[in-house]
Structure 1
Amino acid sequence: MENIFEYEDNGGELTIIRLKQGVKATSIIIPEKIDGKPVSYIGNFAFSGSNIKKVTISENIKRVGKEAFSGCNQLFSAIWKAKCEIPEECFSYCSKLSRFSFANAEAIGKKAFAKSGLRSITLPKNIKKVETCAFGGCENLEKVVWRAQANIIPSSCFSRCSKLSIFDCENLESIGAHAFKGCNLIVVHLPQNTKRVEIGAFQNCERLENIIWSEKTYKIPENCFENCIKLSAFDFSNIKVIKSNAFRKTGLKKIKLPPNVEKVESYAFQCCLKLEEVIWNTQFGTIPQNCFHACHALVKFDFSNIEIIEKDAFAFSGLKEIILPQNIKSISPFAFYSCEELRSVVWNANYNIIPPTCFGNCINLESFDFSNIEIIESCAFVGAALKKIKLSQSVKTINIDAFADCTELQLVVWEAQCNSIPAECFFNCQKLSAFNFLNIKEIGRRAFYNSGIKAICLESETAVETECFACCHSLEKAQWLPDSAIKSAVFEDCSNLKEVIISDKVKNIAVDAFKGCPNMELTFV
């Protein structure tokens, strides 16, 4: 038979490097000998991108080079008799290669069949090793039977195999990162000898409904089930650690964390839109950052075993009532931000600081008991639906924007120890028509900007910053007894301000202090 291959002689053993120029053969058999010399090797890229349709790799081949048949998009039959590794990207992008027998191969290299047309795979015991992304992106792959000696599924092995719905394995110690990402799996049963699962192993398996977890695998890794939107239940009986994003965007409806759980990390259950109930019996007393963020169906939570609530832990959740027990030691900013269904908060916590933006945008939170509070941080209630505020003597510090945009606020009783109203404290509180400034020593910039206040009476020692009462369109009367200067834009655009009584000891009035007050009449006393 005429030789159709170009080759190199390596000390008496030949390496096939390509087809001869002009050869149009579409069905090839790698021969045992050429010109009496043994053929032992197939070189790198030897047939890459060619038009061959069939190939037989004889048992005399000792090694095949990387990408030897990569991109052969007409190749539909490959018979592998060689007892060697199928190398890196050997059959990658062979989109018509729907079947392959692994009966003689010893190992499968990196991306060996990536984006090929394989529909079903059976890996027998002779397979000792499978490398990263070996079958990644095989969009027609539907079934895998894993009987290989190799008991480690490498990272991204079946990633983006969007039709893979059946995976049958009996002996598996480890599953690599993103191994089944984006697959079509419905049920996953991990063998009992499985000890380790890596990051994102089942991420984006949108049809996954049931997972039977190995008793020897104590950690659920990062992003493990992220976006498994049909996964409605999980048994945490043997779990010790739940890593970040582990169940983000899943379909979990109920979570029961038993005492064996030692740690839960940030974003663990974020955006679980169907989550209705959480039983937190773990000894781990910290709700981590964004843990239940955007869990819209979560209407209640028992904080009995909780000590620390981290940033955004329940932000955008569906909580309607919050009871914080004495054991709470710390609450971070945005903890309950934008809980739009929240109507009641019972603050029994020994922790007496309301952190920044803690209840911001809680548009149905109408009341709050400040009896045990010492510090109200910035934006703590910004945009909340509070109607009445009574700041008790326990309150020592209030920071900027604390009650800004509380558009339903009508009454403020200020009995707080602090005698300073911070900047923008009641900004845009349009229904706040009155405020008793007795004992107030300082009012910050824009503190009552665009509020509904109708009259003010400031004591002689009160210091007022710029724009403090600007745009208060309901303000009709102002009594200014301090001898300090009236600063820039303090009453700017108070369009209905008519009567202004000012101490004759006032040192200076800024040119724009009353800008936009067309009906104002000044009286000095």
Structure 2
Amino acid sequence: MNGVEGIDNNAFYSFKSLTSIEIDSPVIIGTSAFDTCTSLQSVKLPNGIQIIGDYAFQNCKSLPQINLPDSITHIGKGCFYACYKLASITFPKGLNILEESTFYACSHLLNVSLPDTMTHLGPTCFKGCINLESIKLSENLVKIDNECFAGCSSLEKINLPDKLQVIGEACFQGCISLVSMEFKKKINTLHDDVVDACNALKELTFVLTEQKYIRSPFVFCPELQKITIIESENMFLLKIPDNYFQDCQNLKEVVLDTPNILSFGANSFRNCERLEKVTFKTPFKDLQNIFLNCFDGCKQLTEIILPDSVSLISSFSFRNCISLRKMTIPPKVTILYSDLFYGCTSLESVTFNDNINSIGISCFQNCKNLKEIVNGLPKSLTMIGSAAFCGCSKLESVTINENLYFISDNCFKDCLSLQTVTFDNNIKNLEFIYENAFQNCYSLTKIILPNCVTFLGNSSFGNCSKLSEVVLGKSLKDISSSAFEKSSNIKSITYPLFNQMNVNVFDSSKDSITQLILVDSIDNLTLFDDDCFNYFGNVNDVVFAVYSLKYIGQKTFNGFKNMETLSFTKCNVIEIKEDAVSNHNKLNNMNFDANELYLDVSCFRNIDSLHQVTISSKIISFKDFSFADSTSLNYINMMCEKATFGNSIFENCSNLNTIDCNIVDGLVISVDFAKIIPYVRDLRIASNQVTIKGNSMKEMKNLVNFEINADITLEANSLSNSNLENLIINTQGQLDFQSSIFNELSNLQKLLILKSSKVTFGENVFGQQNILSEINVTSPSIIFNPHCFDGLQSLEKIVANGIVEKVGEYSFNNCSKLSKIDFISNVQTIEDSSFNECSSLLNFTIKSDNLNKLGNSAFKNCQKLQNITINSPQNLSISDHCFCSCYEMTFLNSSNLNLGQFSFHNCKNLRNISGNILSVSSYSFSGCESLELIQISNLEIVPSHCFENCISLQKFITMKKIQEVSDYGFYNCPKLKEFKFDNVSFIGDFSFSNTGIYNLTLTTMVILGNYSFANCNELSEVYLANLSSIASNVFVNDTKLSKFVYCGTKQIKSKDLFTGCSKLKEIFVSKDYGKSSISGVPCSTTEFCVSSGDNQIRKKLIIITASSVFVLIVIVVIICVVASCKKQDKINYKESEIESLLFTSDNKLYTNSANI
């Protein structure tokens, strides 16, 4: 078309054969100009064209594409309506608006890119573009009108620009391929149908606007799983609207990015059956209200954390949230309304705040898994509504706090696991527990009702099948007759004593109740005489815990035919009248706890079954025959300040074996008192003061064990003539045990004394006809006087915990079974024969800062004594025979020792003494066959027989040089091989006889006694510098003696000196010696004995001794070499040839013991 100025309305309307249009000049295309040109396939528009009228290309069904020049400023509504094959379109760059239905039903349109100048998309603009997959919107787009993209079923994604403010109704309705979508914050209007039928929409960011919704805008998005709600920046909204998410059944997560919200509207999340969590993206500091049914039916919601600002949670808000597991109630919530958590079957724990004052009807009903109420019910709670916890079948415990006024009907009904119900100790206002309140609580075992409760309704505790203990409060007069119906296993009832009793309320348990505890009521009875408790035929345990009650009539006890235990506890004054309880032949145990107790004549007489009585009271009065003829009574425990006793209280109580008696004000055990308890076997008494009169104990012929905790006075014969076996005395006072106290006490086995300030044991305190085996004393001062336990052969053990002031002579003499002694002492002396003949004593330990002497025979003949430890800083004298014949003794541990005669004589196993021995005496160690080493610091003279028969002695060490060895000093010490003879001037008879000495060198003027070295089988060499005198038989039977040198000039006239010395062939003497033989052995002179004085002789002898050692070493080496060579057949010398190598003709070298 050339030169055309315009194309009029309907100009080519329905030119169905028209296939192509090319316009060369700018024109205006009028309304419906090419409408229904169904064959039109090509349109070319010139640059400069500005306006295309309404419906211009409507129904051009074959048009596949069109390029709109940039000059176009207006495209009319419905311009390309139903251009089914239109797949591509290029928009002019300056276009601002697309009018209504511009591309309606362009079903082949795939991708659209709108110019940046576009600000408004009109109604139904792209509606029905079923193949439209993507569209690029202008960043300046402000408004998208109604149904703009409705029915764009292939549209998968659309990015809405940030400047967008208005989205019309049903804008994206039916976009069934749209998966996710994000609305921006400038949007101020969103209608409830904007995303209707977006069947594939799973994730959506939606702007909260101020519209009121009759229904949820998301209800017809069946796959929608996550919604993020943001707030329009153009308005300040305070509420999530009512019904906002209601019935979005596949919605799993809601993210709220709306920090200014104050309220969740009614039904806002109702029936979101798959909703699992609600996340507050930014802190909800101001959320206050959750309105009706807010989360009702959110079956997958497991947890929601409400901010502390919430103050209102309306009824039904979380009803039937069957997956909700725990809930913490915010601190500002004061009321939990009805049905709030009804049917939350997975709810396990709930944490209340302390400000809640009311829990509404059915609030937690049927929360079947509710197991824990953290920290109990709120302290501020004043009301619990009907059925509030009904059906909470796993709830285990409930604590009712102090401000509650009543418990409503059915409140805890069907709480099948409820085991404990605890009422606060300070509760004062709770008066009413209404019908069925705890009905069917099958696991409830015990209920203690507070004293303020005045009413129990019908079946309030009905059918509690495990309920075994019930404690009724003292104000509870009004009890429904069915309050405990079908609770048939109650065994214990605490029942207040009212003027009028109604016991038939426990009809279901009348045969199971075995314990009845009777307490004061608000009636404060002082007298009770009613046999109403006959109703409970099997009661066997009866307790009176009554303070106001004073008199109990006989009729009362007639109501307890099967009573086995009777107790009075926390009572004030109790009087049991004459014969009140007598002849109750099933009663076996009684307990009394009262300020004052008065037992009348025969009040408990002839109760054959009675075994035990316990009494605790300030004042006790027993009148005559109180327990007489109760033949099975075997134990009495009595604690009081003051007691008075009648006659024959326990007459014929032949089995009364044990009595514990604590009487503060003091007790005198006289003959009359003893006659009251003649059958007692075990008696324990505690008091400030106890006096035992003479001959009183013989009245208690069966007494075996006696314990006294008191300051005690024991008169003469106080313990005599009894069969007592064990005696325990715990006293602060002094004890002086004399034989007169224990006369003919022949069965005593054990004595234990505790805390006494001083204990003294007198002479033969227990005699010798006793079987006493153990004494244990704790006291700061203990005295064992002479002969105190002398001959007490039964005594096995004595322990003294304290300071032993004295161990007298013969104190433990002949205690042949005594095996252990252990004590600390400050004694200076353990006297003579203190432990003599204690033949079973194994160990002895004593610590004393003052001990300096063990007396004569102190431990003599303690044959089994093994170890002794004596801790004393003093020099200790061990007197004569102290440890004589302690055969098993192996060790002595002490400090500085001075040893008397026979002190360790015949201690055959003594191996060691750990201590510094200062001195020894005759026979001190004689017969110590195992002694191997002895060290003595200052010894100069070895006393006679001191080490005789010490057959294992190998070393003898002393710090000073020995000057004398007395007769038999080392007799028969065969292992003693060495001895320092440097300063010795006297060697007595037999002093070294039978020793292992192998070399004897004496350099001083010495006296040798008879047999002094006889039978020394190892002695081979003897060197004598000079002699004062030498007796006969000195070297008899020294079989190895082969070398004898005598350098003195004094002639030896003794006979038989060398009898049995078979190897001794000659004696070497000095040139000045005038005899040719000594005791029959020929003499030869030697140049080594000179007359230039003793000093030169000593030097010569030292040189000789050293040379001898050297020669011996050379001989041994050569013999070894020769032996080795013989094995190799290289050398075959004879012994005579070897000798010729060693010895010269002038005998300057000698075989074996040769000297140079």
By how many angstroms is 1:125 displaced? 1.7
Structure 1 residues 64 and 452, CA, compared in 2 at 3 Å: closer, same or farther? farther
Correspondence 1:169 to 2:169: no
Correspondence 1:102 to 2:577: yes
Backbone CA RMSD of aligned residues: 5.6
By how many angstroms is 1:112 displaced? 3.5
The aligned counterpart of 1:45 is: 515
What code does the residue aligned with 2:687 have? C
What code does the residue aligned with 2:795 have? E
Cα shift readout 1:71-111 (whole Å, capped 9, x = no counterpart)? x476645633325469455444x314432333422268455
Equivalences for residues 485-496 of structure 1 within 5 A = none
Structure 1 Cα separation of the partners of residues 837 and 530 of structure 2: 75
The answer to whether the 8 A contact 2:767-2:792 is kept is no
Please give the secondary structure, in 1, of the residue aligned with 2:685: coil
Structure 1 residues 49 and 412, CA, compared in 2 at 3 Å: closer, same or farther? same
Structure 2 Cα separation of the partners of residues 371 and 276 of structure 1: 20
By how many angstroms is 1:21 displaced? 9.8
TM-score (norm 1): 0.64
By how many angstroms is 1:24 displaced? 1.0
The aligned counterpart of 2:971 is: none
TM-score (norm 2): 0.33
Correspondence 1:66 to 2:543: no
By how many angstroms is 1:170 displaced? 0.5
What code does the residue aligned with 1:347 have? S
What code does the residue aligned with 1:202 have? R
What code does the residue aligned with 1:290 have? E
By how many angstroms is 1:230 displaced? 3.4
Equivalences for residues 203-282 of structure 1 within 5 A = 203-210=685-692, 213=696, 216-222=699-705, 224-233=706-715, 235-236=717-718, 239-247=721-729, 249=731, 251=733, 252-255=735-738, 256-257=740-741, 259-267=743-751, 273-276=757-760, 278=762, 280=764
The aligned counterpart of 1:356 is: 842
Structure 1 residues 393 and 197, CA, compared in 2 at 3 Å: closer, same or farther? closer
By how many angstroms is 1:61 displaced? 5.9
By how many angstroms is 1:426 displaced? 1.9
The answer to whether the 8 A contact 1:241-1:263 is kept is yes
The aligned counterpart of 2:619 is: 142
The answer to whether the 8 A contact 2:812-2:834 is kept is yes
The answer to whether the 8 A contact 2:834-2:858 is kept is no
Structure 1 residues 419 and 246, CA, compared in 2 at 3 Å: closer, same or farther? closer
Equivalences for residues 328-339 of structure 1 within 5 A = 328=814, 330-334=816-820, 337-339=823-825
Structure 2 Cα separation of the partners of residues 261 and 194 of structure 1: 19
Structure 1 residues 146 and 281, CA, compared in 2 at 3 Å: closer, same or farther? same
Q: State the percentage of identical aligned residues.
A: 6
Structure 1 Cα separation of the partners of residues 717 and 882 of structure 2: 48
Cα shift readout 1:206-253 (whole Å, capped 9, x = no counterpart)? 43345573653235431x233223344464375232221244558543
Please give the secondary structure, in 2, of the residue aligned with 1:98: strand
Correspondence 1:403 to 2:880: no
Structure 1 residues 250 and 331, CA, compared in 2 at 3 Å: closer, same or farther? farther
Structure 1 Cα separation of the partners of residues 474 and 836 of structure 2: 86
Structure 1 residues 194 and 234, CA, compared in 2 at 3 Å: closer, same or farther? farther
Equivalences for residues 107-122 of structure 1 within 5 A = 109-114=587-592, 116-122=593-599
Structure 1 residues 348 and 249, CA, compared in 2 at 3 Å: closer, same or farther? closer
Correspondence 1:183 to 2:672: no
The aligned counterpart of 1:510 is: none
Equivalences for residues 280-429 of structure 1 within 5 A = 280=764, 284-286=768-770, 288-291=772-775, 293-294=777-778, 296-303=781-788, 306-308=791-793, 310-313=795-798, 315=800, 317-323=804-810, 328=814, 330-334=816-820, 337-341=823-827, 343-347=829-833, 351=837, 353=839, 355-358=841-844, 360-361=846-847, 364=851, 366-370=853-857, 373-375=860-862, 377-380=865-868, 382-383=870-871, 387-389=876-878, 395-400=884-889, 402-405=891-894, 407-411=895-899, 418=906, 422-423=910-911, 425-427=912-914, 429=915
Structure 1 Cα separation of the partners of residues 472 and 811 of structure 2: 80
What code does the residue aligned with 2:796 have? K
What code does the residue aligned with 1:388 have? S
The answer to whether the 8 A contact 2:853-2:879 is kept is no
Structure 2 Cα separation of the partners of residues 294 and 80 of structure 1: 52
Structure 1 Cα separation of the partners of residues 514 and 806 of structure 2: 61
By how many angstroms is 1:404 displaced? 1.2
What code does the residue aligned with 1:186 have? G
Structure 1 Cα separation of the partners of residues 840 and 697 of structure 2: 42
The answer to whether the 8 A contact 1:257-1:279 is kept is no
Pick one of 471, 476, 484 that aligns with 1:24.
476
Structure 1 residues 280 and 374, CA, compared in 2 at 3 Å: closer, same or farther? closer
Please give the secondary structure, in 1, of the residue aligned with 2:663: coil
By how many angstroms is 1:57 displaced? 4.0
Structure 1 residues 463 and 304, CA, compared in 2 at 3 Å: closer, same or farther? closer
Pick one of 528, 531, 535 that aligns with 1:56.
528
Structure 2 Cα separation of the partners of residues 185 and 312 of structure 1: 36
Structure with greater strand share of residues:
2
Cα shift readout 1:333-381 (whole Å, capped 9, x = no counterpart)? 2358545436242329983748233574465360322499345512346
Pick one of 134, 145, 158 that aligns with 2:637.
158
Structure 1 Cα separation of the partners of residues 713 and 702 of structure 2: 18
Please give the secondary structure, in 2, of the residue aligned with 1:112: strand
What code does the residue aligned with 1:265 have? Q
By how many angstroms is 1:442 displaced? 3.9
Uncovered stretches (5+) of structure 1, i.e. residues with no partner: 7-16, 485-501, 506-522
Structure 1 residues 403 and 22, CA, compared in 2 at 3 Å: closer, same or farther? closer
What code does the residue aligned with 1:81 have? Q
Structure 2 Cα separation of the partners of residues 184 and 135 of structure 1: 16
Cα shift readout 1:42-89 (whole Å, capped 9, x = no counterpart)? 94234467867547242576678234446x476645633325469455
Structure 1 Cα separation of the partners of residues 878 and 790 of structure 2: 30
The answer to whether the 8 A contact 1:314-1:336 is kept is yes
Structure 2 Cα separation of the partners of residues 230 and 393 of structure 1: 39
Structure 2 Cα separation of the partners of residues 454 and 21 of structure 1: 91
Structure with greater helix share of residues:
2
What code does the residue aligned with 2:867 have? C
Correspondence 1:79 to 2:556: no
Structure 2 Cα separation of the partners of residues 382 and 395 of structure 1: 17
The aligned counterpart of 1:197 is: 680
Structure 2 Cα separation of the partners of residues 397 and 238 of structure 1: 37
The answer to whether the 8 A contact 1:264-1:284 is kept is no
Structure 1 residues 23 and 97, CA, compared in 2 at 3 Å: closer, same or farther? same
Please give the secondary structure, in 1, of the residue aligned with 2:498: strand
Structure 1 Cα separation of the partners of residues 667 and 502 of structure 2: 46
What code does the residue aligned with 2:582 have? E
Structure 1 residues 270 and 287, CA, compared in 2 at 3 Å: closer, same or farther? farther
What code does the residue aligned with 1:123 have? D
Structure 1 residues 235 and 390, CA, compared in 2 at 3 Å: closer, same or farther? closer
What code does the residue aligned with 1:24 have? L
Structure 1 residues 169 and 158, CA, compared in 2 at 3 Å: closer, same or farther? farther
Structure 1 residues 313 and 49, CA, compared in 2 at 3 Å: closer, same or farther? same
Structure 2 Cα separation of the partners of residues 287 and 22 of structure 1: 61
- Tell me how many residue pairs correspond in the alignment: 455
Please give the secondary structure, in 2, of the residue aligned with 1:369: coil
Structure 1 residues 282 and 418, CA, compared in 2 at 3 Å: closer, same or farther? closer
Please give the secondary structure, in 2, of the residue aligned with 1:319: strand
Structure 2 Cα separation of the partners of residues 235 and 335 of structure 1: 29
Structure 2 Cα separation of the partners of residues 475 and 73 of structure 1: 87
Structure 1 residues 18 and 69, CA, compared in 2 at 3 Å: closer, same or farther? farther
